[in-house]
Amino acid sequence: MSSLRIPDLAGKVFLVTGASTGIGAAVALALGEQGASVAVHYNASKASAEKVVAGIEKAGAKAFLVGGDVATAKGPAEIVEKAAKHFGRLDGLINNAGSLVSRKPVGDGDDVFDHAVFDLNAHSVVRASRAALPWLRKQGGVVINTTSISARNGGGGGAVLYAASKGFVSTITRGLAKEWVGDRIRVNAVAPGLIDTLFHERGTPAAMYKAQESSIPMGRAGTPEECVGTYLFLASDALSGYITGQVIEVNGGQLMP
């Protein structure tokens, strides 16, 4: 993406949650290549996040490393405040942090597991977005949420709760788009399909992964970098200024709603 230039992203400030690896890391690096200042959030993978920061700074942009657990009640707000106060403003929030937690059939779960999945994938989006609202209201901005193909198809084996939490993300994307349009804040989401990331290395058995891959018309999983263009498109008022409340599918044709 380094040869691509989207002029209206230069000089803006973005916070990307879950930016140490995978899609979040690729998006954070791409925003830096566009000349944006980027707050790179991590929870457990500090060393990986530091590499992302170094990549952004190598591209000539400013980066800020911010740690914290988005699954806690106060974590998202603290992360947003640290990032916004460091740069003095916030033009965009990309709610990307999330995880399967573990594959577990609903019948084998309990309240503790249920809350863990929803706190990480759903409640964190509400809390971070709410904390970002006063900053975004100052000049207008964007919120881009990462949902999933599972929000539409119910998820694979043992991932029903994860899929339900992502369905929440898709729905709140549409609702916040209507609530916040008067503040000149656009809210959209990206729904990746099967993307080759640590998410699947850690949580998807090889046989299940191959079965999912075989259902993709393009014949393969996607890469984090192949998701980046959609995030940049939604982040740019010049490219998507009349788009809000949308969920854009990036899945190689695996799902054609």
Catalytic residues: 162
> Which backbone phi and psi does 186 adopt, to 5 degrees?
-95, 135
User: Are 187 and 209 in contact, with CB atoms under 8 Å apart?
Assistant: no
Residue ranges of E strands in 52-96: 63-67, 92-95
Burial of 37 (0-12, 13-18, 19+ CB in 10 A): buried
User: Are 66 and 14 in contact, with CB atoms under 8 Å apart?
Assistant: no
* Both structure tokens of 141: 């901005």
Question: How far does Cα 1 stand from its chain's mean position?
Answer: 18
**Nearest-angstrom CA–CA distance, 164 and 150:** 8
